[in-house]
Amino acid sequence: MIAIFKKELWNFFGNWSAWIIIAAFSVISALFLFFFENDFNIFDIGSATLQSFFVLSPWLFMFIIPAISMRTLAEEQQSGTLFWLFSQPVKITEIVGGKFLSVWLVGVLCLLPSLIYYYTVYVLGVPEGNIDGSMTFGSYIGLIILIAAFSAVGILASSLSPNQITAYLLGVFICFISYFGIEQLASYKLLGSADYILQNIGFYQHFLAFTRGQIDTRDVFYFLFVIFLGLGLASWFVWKKK
């Protein structure tokens, strides 16, 4: 699994795709947070907080993570190298696990430039340092876990189709439904008491708890279940192709 993990990382950084994705995420988020006139602009909000960044980031990762993961298994199927991997002394779960870790790590590296945003808000706060550290820390933890959940979904989508474009669109669709679609459906309150259950099936409410600075084990275990479920299904679909 470590060998596959290193190989995937080399592919991402060797052909500049990871660098381009990290730069694109940083530039887009900076434009929305500091330059464009919108509800995310920190200067327009007038409050020393990065909450707008943590509201914006899931929407960006919803499109970025499937773009990173779409080629992981789909390209292997399309080129025929997946069958070569089957002949090697490596388990299917290790193949899927190595590819998942590489996608997740690239997603986490996208967050590193955002530390500049934290420093900027820290310095510009009145008084200096007037920023809720525990809420920011909890939000970062939640975002890292959410990236892992999106990565598992992206790997699952890539295992379902040998076509990378189809895998990307399917990954975006599942991420959108899981994060926003279920939450919106529950907000219509059409199912009575079942709306609460439906609301807790989606990603949004569990991620929202982290943005409040609350690291609840129930939310952590929920995301771990989603991650292992996605990777388990991906492994099963790959095994069917063996």
pLDDT digits (tens, 9 = 90+) for 15-28: 888 999 999 999 99
Q: Residue 150: which of 114, 126, 174, 169 has the closest Cα? A: 174
Round the CA-based radius of gyration of the chain to a whole number and report it: 19
Would 188 be classed as within a structural domain?
Answer: no
Would 179 be classed as within a structural domain?
Answer: no
Would 223 be classed as within a structural domain?
Answer: yes
Q: What is the pLDDT along the chain (242 residues), one digit of tens a residue?
A: 888 898 889 888 888 889 999 999 999 999 999 888 888 888 888 777 888 999 999 999 999 999 999 989 988 888 888 888 888 888 999 999 999 999 999 999 999 999 999 998 888 877 777 788 888 899 999 999 999 999 999 999 999 988 999 999 999 999 999 999 988 888 777 767 777 788 889 899 999 989 888 888 999 999 999 999 999 999 999 998 87
Which pLDDT score is estimated for 86? 81
CA 231 and chain centroid, separation: 14
Which pLDDT score is estimated for 82? 81
Which pLDDT score is estimated for 172? 96
Q: Domain residues for 111?
A: 1-173+217-241
Would 61 be classed as within a structural domain?
Answer: yes
Which pLDDT score is estimated for 194? 73
As for how many domains the chain has, the answer is 1
Would 187 be classed as within a structural domain?
Answer: no
SS3 sequence of 5-45: HHHHHHHHHHCCHHHHHHHHHHHHHHHHHHHCCCCCCHHHH
Which pLDDT score is estimated for 65? 96
Would 132 be classed as within a structural domain?
Answer: yes
Would 3 be classed as within a structural domain?
Answer: yes
Would 167 be classed as within a structural domain?
Answer: yes
Stated as kind and residue range, the H or E segment containing 149 is: helix 133-160
Q: Residue 107: which of 26, 222, 203 has the closest Cα? A: 26
Q: Give tens-digit pLDDT for 137-192.
A: 999 999 999 999 999 999 999 999 889 999 999 999 999 999 999 888 887 777 67
Stated as kind and residue range, the H or E segment containing 101 is: helix 92-109
CA-CA distance, 147 to 111, in Å (whole number)? Answer: 10
Q: Residue 25: which of 143, 154, 168, 171 has the closest Cα? A: 143
